[in-house]
Amino acid sequence: MKSNPHLLIIFLGIIFVSFNLRAPITSVGPVIDLIQAQYNLNSSMAGFITTLPLLAFAIFSPFVAKINHKIGHGLTMFAGLLLIIIGELVRSYTNVYGLFIGTILIGIGIAIGNVLIPSVIKHKFEKNVGSIISIYITGMCIFAALGSGLSIPATEIFGWNTSLAIWVILALLALVIWLPQLRKSENYNNSDDLKLEEIMQSKSIWKSPLAWWVTLYMGTQSLLFYTLITWIPSILIFKDFDSHFSGMMLLLFQLVGLPATLIVPIIADKIKHQKFIATIISLIYLLGIVTLLFAQSTFSVILSMIFIGLGTGGAISLAIGFISLRTPHVKKAAELSGMSQSAGYLFAAVGPILIGFIFDVTKSWTNALLVLIALILLLILFGLKAGRDELTHY
């Protein structure tokens, strides 16, 4: 990158885009009770605020690769950042309808980045995929954590509306840094890819069993992450911890996950299969949820957040790493990225609503946490299947 200014600019663009792919969502959890109170929403409807971006991911993700193929990564990502900016303003400064409409726009914008960036990395940094993915995911997770941790302090100063809208600043910065890419119109298919595409063009990646295992892994870890982001503060408040402590725990579990997001893709890129590392990640995750289930003291809550953080950080980085590791070339990476983030996030969208519904019915978080434990057991199975040393043949 030092000898290639173009690659350096793309690298910076990837990093700043990553800052915008979680913070607009994770900043909602700590203030969900305030949003509920202002708009008189029940827990299921409050969970729907976090679910809407996931539905947007699911519906729009399959189209990103096609749009990118027609207009290039520069304009496609620029449009995504514009949607994030507009969505954040509409969500914060209109009314209850704008709350949901703005959230949808944010979701579509983030979906573009979710799908596009892994394929850009594979195309531009093919020899350093593991390292670039680790930096990309770490940047995303740092600002996801900041979104959670700064939400309550910012709300106390500005109110919850502006505390959510303040992330527009990051999106504007990313937009400016991404501007040079608008001058580039690139065809992602090199000559080898075109030959391979001609051989494989009649086959759909949606028919690949391996692609489905990657998708199930992506969907399950996403369901767990977004459910926890939405409800951890409420779970801790229910256990008689105050809102400040609950918000800090949301920040803690995301910060603790940063070493895992940095290290796991690099390790995964250097080993033939990822079954062992996927299992270890899930077992740590499982230990965290079980600890949270029985936690009553400050120490036990902190311990549970540490384990959960390592589990979420490792799982999300491995899920995104699978997109490059299980595909033979850039076009298939874009297709698998679209598939895994479409079907995967459709599955994940159930999480916040389901957990909110279980709490509304039972008036306890015990059954909800037991459901999450069962899902982590499934995550172990999906990791064993997706972690096999092979490429999708579709």
Instruction: Set out the domains of the chain in order of their start, with CATH numbers.
Output: 5-386 (1.20.1250.20)
Q: How far is CA 48 from CA 32, 42, 54, 152, 345, in A?
A: 11, 10, 10, 20, 14
Q: What is the dihedral of CA 353, 64, 106, 316, to 10 degrees?
A: 60
Work out the pLDDT band at 202, boundaries 50, 70, 90.
very low
Segment 235-255 shows an average pLDDT of 88
- Six token digits for residue 202: 């009649």
* Residue-averaged pLDDT of the chain: 87
Q: Which amino acid is at 311?
A: G
Give me the pLDDT at residue 394, please: 65
* 374: confidence class by pLDDT, cuts 50, 70, 90: very high
Q: Which range among 44-53, 318-327, 365-374 has the greatest average pLDDT? A: 365-374
In the prediction, which pLDDT does 189 show? 47
Exposure pattern of 44-55 as b/e (b: 16+ CB <10 Å)?
bbbbbbbbbbbb
Cα–Cα distance for residue pair 151/249, rounded to 1 Å: 13
Say which residues have a Cβ less than 8 Å from residue 33's Cβ, sequence separation at least 6.
233, 234, 237, 243
Res. 333 pLDDT band, cuts 50 70 90: confident
Which range among 96-105, 124-133, 180-189, 216-225 shows the weakest confidence by mean pLDDT? 180-189
Q: pLDDT grade, residue 244 (50/70/90)?
A: confident
